[in-house]
Chain A
Amino acid sequence: MKTLLTIAWRNVWRNRLRSSIVIASIVLGIWSGLFIMAMTLGLNEQRMNSAINTYLSHIQVHDAGFQENFDKMDTISQSSTLVHQLDTMGQVKAFSKRLVLQGMASTARGNYGVKIMGVFPGQEQKVTNISQKLEEGTYLYKLKRNPILIGKKLADKLGAKINSKIVLNFQDAANNTIATSFRVEGIFKSVNSMFDEGTVFVKYPDVASLAGFNGEIHEVAILCNNINQTETVKQRIRTSNLVESWDELAPELGYAQKTMGNFIYIFMGIILLALAFGIVNTMLMAVLERKRELGMLLCVGMNKKKVFAMIILETLFLVIIATPLGISLAGGTISYFGMHGIDLSVVAKGLESLGIGAKVFTRLPLPMYWDITLMTLAVALLAAIVPARRALKLNPAEAVKAL
């Protein structure tokens, strides 16, 4: 075996240029594949995180009928019991009670349909990150009467500025239409322009008293200590209301997250398949160039298993050199752009409409590096079989005389 390893290793370096080109192509293939995977995964994760941090949170509780029709009368039953439960759960980081009404925001410039979120600023601040996304103004604590937070996009459409008046129209509990003016206290800009355009935040007491609600809520948004605790917390909540996790509330996000993993492997498989053809081609050339030598080995008594193993080893050596290089290069760039981000501000508008920021932070879980290493080795092994089988088909008597 030692001799086989020695010969195979030295054979790799017989044609340094060719071997280097193969190694470089494998390195680039692995690097580009992993980097694109990390970018895609980063994009998806950012989209998911931005949704969770901006409005979704990890879990939401509603009355069973609320999500179907957004009927203002479908309030959460026994909300105080629910709140008490959440207060005592160690895995719950924070939660926010919300009154959710459909309405219209108007200024002299125009009217736009909005979702009015009546919140307790102290609670909401702990669950969503809108308070950190303020471009102008403050977060519902400065103005005493009817302050409102609106998104930048809506502000632009309504021509509203800080301290501008906005009239909110909505129906109260008795189906009377209410029109009340609010004053803009803050303008936020999240990474999701559709959210910014269609959501406004007001204080719960302000909107509840106008709408005729007294302590009733439509929604409780719950943030766990980390996303992995979502399912556990969800299972522990005992209520007759509907409890849904973020991936049930926004199935497209959950689905994207789940399918992304498979997609990544398929994508990498395609890259590796292309590399496999390169390896087959190179190793076939190496075998055909060495017909005479391989014929001699078969003549003098090297059995076919050893000849086969030698060619497989040569291919594996190329991959064993290239794979750590490719993975290290990918690991380095992924970790660099994971910290500093890739500036995609040229396509920022498009990304914002998808709920993604203009900077993409690459991320690839460690097990994926390991999986890709195994995939590369497996593909190389398969690719090596073709030239190795070709070597076995040589007729030693003819091969020793081959030119």
Chain B
Amino acid sequence: MNKASAIKKEVMNIIQTDSLFKIYNEGKGNEVRALNGVSLSVEEGEFTAIVGPSGSGKSTLLNIVGGLDKPNSGKVTLNNIDISGLKENELINFRLNNIGFVFQAYNLIPVLNAKENVGFIMLLQHAADSEIHERVETLLEAVGLEKQALKRPNQMSGGQQQRVAVARALASKPKFVLADEPTANLDSKSTSDLLDIMENLNKMEGTTFLFSTHDQRVIDRAHRIITLEDGKIISDTKEK
């Protein structure tokens, strides 16, 4: 591999982890090795699922990649920035401007309506009102909720709330979206709709998606499947 192609490959890796170790209760009787030397690279625009049984380290990996937790050793490089060197406030800013989050329990702000929830992150970025308005309209339309724009979370179904959460995650045009079990609380129809939306946004906006899941319906739709077991990657399959 010549030098030019190596640089090109590095630039394309939006997420890169090197030998991540995460050990809980280190040195105690109840020590848990959640990650055992995980190294992976995710390229820009990938639609990747991390799968594995409970306790395999999926959520720990997503937390570390999302800058919410720190590894005991190893390196996380996101968008060519080594986040282990960032201070807390820098990390918060980095998350704000580079990462979209979708949570299993939606975690919308209950006192804001769908439109306000989607635009919330852009407000934190101090985006202009007109820009927020335009982006929110586009995203709500993309997730099929333009008519629910003024509804608050408690007036929407779980599926609708998760679609709002996806729109929120994408509002700030993040480099990648991390989704932790995004369909765990959804029925089949909602799961299918959500996956359609996520896949479309992945294609339309080129946003990288990395999600952890148990759900076979999600696994079937992923373009790349990374399987974890006991904190180690045991397989990494890309669709042809």
**Lowest 8 A-B CB distances belong to which pairs?**
A301-B96, A10-B111, A296-B107, A397-B68, A397-B63, A301-B95, A3-B123, A303-B92
B interface residues, how many (CB within 8 angstroms)? 27
Further 10 A-B residue pairs, CB within 8 A, beyond A297-B109, A300-B101, A301-B97: A14-B110, A293-B107, A296-B101, A299-B95, A301-B95, A303-B89, A303-B92, A304-B88, A304-B92, A400-B107
Among A298, A300, A302, A304, chain B packs the most CB atoms within 10 A around the CB of A300
CA of A357 to CA of B163, assembled, Å: 73
> Shortest beta-carbon distance, A323 to chain B, in Å?
23
Residues of A within 8 A of B99 (CB): 301
- Give the distance in Å from the alpha carbon of A306 to the alpha carbon of B93 in the complex: 13
Q: Does A292 contact B (CB under 8 A)?
A: yes
A293–B68 touching, CB < 8 Å: no
Known: A299-B68, A299-B95. A11 touches B111 (CB 8 A): yes
Q: Are B68 and A14 in contact (CB under 8 A)?
A: no
Let me know if B121 and A300 touch, CB within 8 A. yes
A64 at the B interface (CB under 8 A): no
Taken together as a complex, chains A and B put the C-alpha atoms of A29 and B111 apart, in Å, by: 29
B142 sits at the interface (CB 8 A): no
Interfacial residues of chain A within 283-311, with CB under 8 A of chain B in the complex = 292-293, 295-304, 306
Cβ contacts A to B, 22 pairs, < 8 Å: A3-B120, A6-B112, A6-B116, A7-B111, A7-B112, A11-B111, A14-B110, A292-B105, A293-B109, A293-B110, A295-B107, A296-B109, A299-B95, A300-B96, A300-B101, A301-B95, A301-B99, A301-B121, A301-B124, A396-B68, A397-B66, A397-B68
**Per-position binary interface string of chain A over residues 256-273, scored 1 when its CB falls under 8 Å from any chain B CB and 0 otherwise:** 000000000000000000
Within the complex, the shortest CB–CB distance from A399 to chain B, in Å, comes to 10
B215 on the A face (CB < 8 A): no
B69 within 8 A of A: yes
Complex CA–CA separation, A6 to B93 (angstroms): 22
B89 to chain A: which residues have CB within 8 Å? 303-304
- Shortest A51–chain B CB gap in Å is 59
Contacts of B120 in A (CB 8 A): 3, 300
Indicate if the CB atoms of A303 and B103 lie closer than 8 Å. Answer: no
Number of A positions contacting B (CB below 8 A): 23
Taking beta carbons and an 8 Å cutoff, which residues of A are in contact with B?
3, 6-7, 10-11, 14, 292-293, 295-304, 306, 396-397, 400-401
- Given A292-B107, A296-B103, A397-B69, also A301-B92 (CB < 8 A): yes
Cα-based distance from A248 to B111 in the complex (angstroms): 63
Is the pair A10, B92 in contact by a Cβ cutoff of 8 Å?
A: no
Residues of A within 8 A of B112 (CB): 6-7, 10
Q: Given that A292-B105, A396-B68 are known contacts, is A298 also in contact with B111, CB under 8 Å in the complex?
A: no
Nearest-neighbor residue (CB-CB) of B169 within chain A: A300
Which of B69, B92, B103, B121 is close to A298, meaning CB atoms less than 8 Å apart?
B92
CB of A192, distance to nearest CB on chain B (Å): 61
Q: In whole angstroms, how far apart are the Cα atoms of A10 and B120 in the complex?
A: 15
List, in ascending order, chain A residues with CB within 8 A of B95's CB.
299-301
How many interface contacts (CB-CB < 8 Å) are there between A and B?
Answer: 65
Interchain CB contact under 8 A, A400 and B97:
no
Q: Min CB distance, A401 to chain B, in Å?
A: 8
Bound-state Cα–Cα, A301 to B101, Å: 10
Chain A residues with CB under 8 Å of B68's CB are 299, 396-397
Q: How far is the CB of A3 from chain B (nearest CB, A)?
A: 5
Note all chain B residues with C-beta closer than 8 A to A3.
120, 123-124
Nearest Cβ on chain A to B81's Cβ, whole angstroms: 15
Task: Please determine whether A299 and B109 come into contact, CB atoms closer than 8 angstroms.
Answer: no
With both chains docked as a complex, state the minimum distance between the C-beta of A302 and any C-beta of chain B, in angstroms. Answer: 6
Least Cβ distance of B101 to chain A in Å? 5
Kindly list chain B residues whose C-beta atoms are within 8 Å of the C-beta of A302. Answer: 92, 96, 124
Partner of B101, one of A10, A293, A299, A303: A299
Q: Which residues of B contact A396 (CB under 8 A)?
A: 68
Interface 0/1 of B99-137, CB less than 8 Å to A:
101011101011110001000110110000000000000
Min distance, Cβ A131 to any Cβ of chain B, angstroms: 69
Q: Does A303 contact B93, Cβ atoms closer than 8 Å?
A: yes
A47 to B63, CA, bound (A): 71
- For B99, B111, B123, the residue with the greatest tally of chain A CB atoms inside 10 Å of its CB is B111
Contact with A along B60-84 (1 / 0, CB 8 A): 0001001011000000000000000
Inter-chain contacts of B116 with A (CB < 8 A): 6
Name the CB-closest residue of A to B119: A3
Q: Which residue of A lies closest to B68 (CB)?
A: A397
Contact A299 B111 (CB under 8 A): no
Chain B contacts for A299, CB-based, 8 A: 66, 68, 95, 101, 103
Give the CA-CA distance A304 to B89 in the complex, in Å.
8
Residue from A295, A306, A401 with most neighbouring chain B CB atoms (10 Å): A401
A93-B98 Cα distance, complex, nearest whole Å: 80
Cα distance A3–B112 when bound, in Å?
10
Docked complex Cα distance between A301 and B116 (Å): 16
Report Cα–Cα, A81/B112, bound state, in Å. Answer: 82
Does A7 contact B96, Cβ atoms closer than 8 Å? no
